[in-house]
Amino acid sequence: MTRYIIVDDEHIAHDIIKGYCDLLPDMKLLKHCYDAIEALAFLRNNSVDLIFLDLNMPKLKGFDFLRTLQNPPQIIVTTAYKEHALEGYELDVIDYLLKPFSFDRFLKAINKTINLKGDLRQLDPSRNIEEQYIFLYSNKKHNQVKLKDILFIEAAGNYCKVVLKENQILIREKISDVLELFPPNKFLRVHKSFIVSKDNIETLEGNRIQIKEHQIPIGQLYKINILNFLKL
């Protein structure tokens, strides 16, 4: 369960963020905070996993508030001001959402928080590997896909084919962007056009990886990834 608060002086922003979160499993709103002072008071006695943070607020600006936190949780900035994006990344925010943002863009930010540091559900230690999942947008809907079911991802121009144990999903993402969605301790790029699931690798022979009936090529530039995986 991801426990979150919204820190924003605009009521409509609270409604939009909560509405998006309500569409996802395991998201629990703890409090609506309409300025940073209210958020500080709440955080003195409560622990949260994620803060949706506006920047331009009265009394205390968003980044000034963030600097006061000794052990900040994950932060997703939600703002209409793009000029502060670099400062946000220097403060280790997870993502920077420019208002107005779509549900698709919001979902990509949530996936980043889920996948942070290679632990798909680090915010919920009770969740085991069998339950780890990601949302992928395909065929005009958001598909919940379990990590254990993904065999490999193959680039197809501006799209990627996510090959599962039982079927496949075509998503409109470049492979370099897709790689950022998945935890590096579970997935490995082995070719300019292929990312494979480490857990589903059956054999490695020469420049080929065998995953069920599929043979995946190993690119020359990515052999170091294989050596690191094998700890050679």
Judge whether residue 94 has pLDDT over 90: no
Number of domains within the chain: 2
175 and 110 in a common domain? no
Say yes or no to pLDDT of 210 above 60: yes
Asked if pLDDT for residue 232 goes beyond 60, the answer is: no
Assess whether 143 and 88 both reside in one domain.
no
Mean local confidence (pLDDT), 8-15 = 95
3-state secondary structure of 42: helix
Separation of alpha carbons 125 and 56, rounded Å: 34
Domain boundary among 85, 117, 149: 117
pLDDT of residue 146: 87
Domain final residue, candidates 117, 148, 170? 117
Q: For the sheet with 2-7, list strands across it.
A: 27-33, 2-7, 50-53, 74-79, 95-98
For residues 101-112, give the mean pLDDT: 88
Which CATH number goes with the domain that contains 26? 3.40.50.2300
- Confidence band (pLDDT; 50, 70, 90) for 115? low
User: What CATH number does residue 144 fall under?
Assistant: 2.40.50.1020
pLDDT tens by residue, 14-58: 999 999 999 887 899 999 999 999 999 999 999 999 999 998 888
Q: Do 10 and 112 belong to one domain? A: yes
* Average pLDDT estimate for 111-120: 57
- Of the candidates 31, 24, 63, 33, the one whose C-alpha atom is nearest the C-alpha of residue 47 is 31
pTM for this model (two decimals): 0.58
Q: Indicate whether 145 belongs to any domain.
A: yes
Contacts of 212 (CB under 8 A, 6+ apart): 151, 165, 200, 202
Q: In percent, how much of the chain has pLDDT > 90?
A: 47
Rounded Cα distance, 128 and 178, in Å: 23
Cβ-Cβ contacts under 8 Å for 219 (sequence gap 6 or more): 190, 191, 192, 194
Q: State which residues form the domain around 177.
A: 136-230
Are 102 and 143 part of one and the same domain?
A: no
- Which 3 state secondary structure label does DSSP give 75? strand
Asked if residue 189 lies in contact with residue 142, where contact means CB atoms within 8 angstroms, the answer is: no
| 122 within domain boundaries | no
Burial (Cβ within 10 Å: 0-12, 13-18, ≥19) of residue 126: exposed
